[in-house]
Structure 1
Amino acid sequence: MAHELGTADLQPTADGSLTLRSHRFGQTYGSAHGAETQARHVFVGGTGVAVQRRARVLEIGFGVGQNLRSTLVVCDRRPLDYLAYEYDPVPAEVLVQLSGGASGNGAGANHPVWQELMLAWPPPVGGELTIGVQEQRLRVRCLDVLSAELPQGWATTVYLDGFSPEANPELWSDEFLLRVAGALAPGGVLATYSAAGRVRRALVAAGLDVEKRPGPPGKREFLRAEKPVDRP
């Protein structure tokens, strides 16, 4: 049974990880079929971040940090620069509960970067929270990503993980996805759980090579998009 937490409900998912239900959008932050499984399959696996020597990750929608924790597991102590945008951060005590998982030992929760983040959370409104541990840097910006400046040609990896196009259409507009594509470095890869036709068409129009891939449990397909190396 879900635990009432005011703005969202703490809920177990099929793989033992936890997620939240957003009252504002009427959806959970992660898949009920397995929030951690979705993060590993779509975002970590779909982008190949685990094999990048020095990953530069741009995340659209930090949410409850599941994608970050899954990335920290595969990157371990290798160089990592992770930049996330989150307009409405969840309360610190909620983030702590979520990172533990249903078993009390969620994947990535013991990583030094995550531990430092738990001490510093939340980011200042309109500002940035920065965590640095050896060759790994995390920045979480508490800004409206729709109007915020994105780093152009910077990201080797983009996690596009906002609420669905039906619930939050502005985040999936042609104009915004063009801006997100511009943040990718040549050869960089974007992954999103959405396989909607209009999302695929917008990514193609933004100059990316897009393919559908088999999805995680509960999802038939997801999208992987790559910026060709011969395009700026």
Structure 2
Amino acid sequence: MRRNIITTSDGSKTIQLVDWNEQYHSVHGALAEARHVFLKNGLAYRLQAEDIVEKDKQKIHIVEMGLGTGLNLLLTYDFLSTKELDLEVNYTGIDKFPVSTEEQVQLNYEQFTAVNTNSFKEMCGQPWDSKEMYAGKFSLEKRQIDLLEYSDKEPVDLVYFDAFGPRVQPELWTEESLNVLVSRMSANAVFVTYCAKGDVRRSLQNLGLRVERLPGPPGKREMLRGIKEN
């Protein structure tokens, strides 16, 4: 499949899949989209929950469906490194068709963070189907599998659902596929996605989440956030 690296409206880059007429991020701003959907309305929101504020919780497990370019991973690592949290972070990235390390390096996302360039290159170069530790009690597990093959029993505290949209990968947005991660969500867990389609919202509600329609990132009216309340 033909691939181009393009610059989005906020100056950050993304990968364009020419034959699908699809991009890994919004053309209105890759960085802006990731910060708004996954950091502000996902990670920052989850860290405000009582179990973390009161320090009852010692560990947080983040699962990203669609690790892709690694932008959400990098921004998460950068965000957490600025917080004084005595919290162990396990980050699991799932991607059946990974972006190459060479492409990830070309995107030069480190320029937007305080993360050491070598640290991100190590994450990008980490072998698939392996788990490694990084500074700040941060572990990264990379899984090159189909979502339906995910069988980890560790409860999930935060889901970044960042697969390609239903137009090009409808199989990843079915109730069955969504339930792979929703069924593993712990109490107070949060599910965020840029996709605000009605059938996706209804599927998440059918699976027991309280779903909110929130203002979307630049160029998109809405996004979804689901919360596991029990």
Q: Give 1:221 deviation, angstroms.
A: 0.2
CA contact (8 A) 1:60 1:86 kept: yes
User: Contact conserved, 1:36 with 1:70, CA < 8 A, in 2?
Assistant: no
The aligned counterpart of 1:83 is 92
Report the equivalent of 1:26. Answer: 21
Q: CA deviation at 1:109?
A: 4.9
Question: What is the distance in 1 between the residues matched to 2:20 and 2:74?
Answer: 23
Contact 2:147 2:180 in 1 (8 A): no
Q: 1:40 corresponds to which residue?
A: 35
Could you tell me which residue of structure 1 aligns to residue 146 of structure 2?
144
What are the Cα deviations for residues 35-59 of structure 1, in whole angstroms up to 9, with x where unaligned? 1111110111112447625432110
Q: How does 1:26-175 map to 2 (within 5 A)?
A: 26-49=21-44, 52=47, 53=52, 54-76=59-81, 78=85, 79-98=88-107, 100-101=108-109, 105-107=111-113, 109-110=115-116, 113-118=119-124, 120-121=125-126, 123-124=127-128, 127-151=129-153, 154-175=155-176
Instruction: Give the percent of matched residue pairs that are identical in Structure 1 and Structure 2.
Output: 33
Aligned residue for 1:146, secondary structure, equals: helix
Question: 1:218 and 1:61 mapped to 2: Cα distance?
Answer: 21
Distance in 2 separating the partners of 1:24 and 1:89: 17
Residues 50, 70 of structure 1: alpha-carbon distance in 2 compared, 3 angstrom cutoff: farther
Residue 80 of structure 1, CA deviation? 1.8
Q: How many residues align?
A: 216
Using the size of structure 1 for normalisation, the TM-score is 0.84
Q: Could you give the per-residue CA deviations for residues 110-155 of structure 1, whole angstroms, max 9, x where no partner exists?
A: 266424214x34x34xx33534334110111111122232435x11
Q: TM-score when scaled to structure 2?
A: 0.85
Residues 218 and 191 of structure 1, relative CA distance in 2, 3 Å threshold: same
- Bigger fraction of residues in helix: 2
Alpha-carbon deviation of 1:166?
1.3
- Cα RMSD of the aligned pairs, angstroms, is 2.2
Answer yes or no: is the 8 Å Cα contact 2:93–2:141 preserved in 1: yes
- Where in structure 1 are there 5+ consecutive unaligned residues? 1-5
Specify the code of the residue in structure 2 equivalent to 1:196: K
Measured against aligned partners, the alpha-carbon deviations of 1:180-201 in whole angstroms (never above 9, x if no partner) come to 2112111100000000000000
Aligned to 1:3: none
Aligned to 1:215: 216
Query: Would you say the 8 A contact 2:194–2:223 is kept in 1?
Result: yes
